[in-house]
Amino acid sequence: MPRFHCPLPLHADAQLDLPAGAARHVQVLRLQPGAVIELFGGAGGQWQAEILEMGRSHVSVRVLQHQAVERELHRPVHLIAGITANERMDWLVEKATELGAASLTPLLAERSVLKLKGERADKKREHWQAVAVAACEQCGRNRVPLVHPALTLAQWLQAHPVEQDAPGTQRAVLSLAPGCQPLAQVLAKEAGPVVLLSGPEGGLSPAEEALALQAGFAPVTLGPRILRAETAPLAALALLGAL
Ligand code: SAH
C-alpha cells in the first residue's frame, strides 16, 4: 500500500487535504478516489486513509483507523557521522534511516571534505531530513529520525555532557586504533540508547578521537578491514539491530 508522510493532526474520520508533496506523489501514482493509502505523522503509528477527491493540485482524504505499528530498534541509536563528500552522505542518511537510526547528527569533522556553513548548512539539513522522510515512506518506519544541524565534535560534546545521558546509555566510537574490542561485545552490556560516533573519509583526527575517549566514548572495532565512512556506521547499525 502506498505510504505517505503527513505531518498534520490525524484522527479517525478526519477529512483533510494531503500536504503538497504527498498530493503530488498520489497524482503521479494515478491513484483514484476510493483507493486506500497509509499515512504516518512521523512520531509513531500509522493510519489508513481513503482518497475522497483528486483535484488539480489537492488530494482530499478521509482518515480511517489507526494502527499502532512500531518498527524501531530495541535500543535507540543516535548516530554522529562524519560528513562525507557529495552524494555519499545522502546514501548514508537513507540507509541509516532504513536500518533504524533514531537520530543523525552530521559531524563537521576536522577531515570532512565538505565544509558547511550558514544558509548552505540549513539547506543541506533540510535536504537530508527529506531523504530520511522518503526512506521512512519506503521502509515502513513510522518514526522519522531527526537530522540535527551539523556540529563539530567539540560543539556536540558541549551540548551533551555525559552525566546527562539517559540511564543505560552507551557511547561508542568506531575506531581503527589497534586493540579495540568488537562493537557487538561492548554494546551487549546495557539496554539503553547508544550514541555512535564515526569518522569521515579521512578518519577522525587524533585530537577528535582523544576528545571522544575523554567524554566516555568506548573505542570499538568492526574488524580488520578499513570500511568506507558510509559503510562503517551502517554495518554498526545492522549489528545493533541484531542485538
Ligand atoms: N582514511 C582513514 C579511514 C577512515 S574510515 C584511515 O585510513 O585512517 C572512516 C571511518 O569509519 C573511521 O573514522 C571509523 O570511524 C570508521 N571505520 C572504518 N573501518 C572501521 C573498522 N574496521 N572498525 C571500526 N571503525 C571503522
- Extents of the domains making up the chain: 3-67, 77-242
For residue 199, the CA-to-ligand 1 centroid distance in Å is: 6
One pLDDT digit (tens) per residue for the chain, 243 residues: 899 999 999 999 999 999 999 999 999 999 999 999 999 999 899 999 999 999 888 999 999 999 999 999 999 999 999 999 879 999 999 999 999 999 999 999 999 988 888 888 899 999 999 999 999 999 999 999 999 999 999 999 999 999 999 999 999 999 999 999 999 999 988 889 999 999 999 999 999 999 999 999 999 999 999 999 999 999 999 999 988
Q: What pLDDT does residue 188 have? A: 87
Out of 3.90.950.10, 3.40.1280.10, 3.40.50.700, 3.30.70.260, which CATH number does the structure's domain 77-242 have? Answer: 3.40.1280.10
Q: How far apart (Å, rounded) are the C-alpha atoms in residues 142 and 71?
A: 7
For residue 53, give the 3-state DSSP assignment.
strand
Cα atoms found within 13 Å of the Cα of residue 158, Cβ hemisphere only: 5
The sign of the dihedral angle between the CA atoms of 140, 142, 143, 144 is positive
- Would you say the pTM of this structure is higher than 0.75? yes
Q: Which residues line ligand 1 (CB under 6 A)?
A: 174-176, 198-199, 202-204, 221-223, 225-227, 229, 232
For residue 176, the CA-to-ligand 1 centroid distance in Å is: 6
Which atom of ligand 1 is least distant from the CA of 229?
9
In whole angstroms, how far apart are CA 205 and each of 106, 201, 215?
A: 16, 11, 15
- Closest residue CA from atom 9 of ligand 1: 229
Assigned C-alpha cell, 62: 478521509
User: β-pairing, 103-107 with 181-182?
Assistant: unpaired
Q: What pLDDT does residue 54 have? A: 94
Which atom of ligand 1 is least distant from the CA of 173?
15
Q: What pLDDT does residue 86 have? A: 79
For residue 175, the CA-to-ligand 1 centroid distance in Å is: 6
Q: What pLDDT does residue 90 have? A: 96
For residue 129, the CA-to-ligand 1 centroid distance in Å is: 25
Q: Which CATH architecture has domain 3-67?
A: Beta Barrel (2.40)
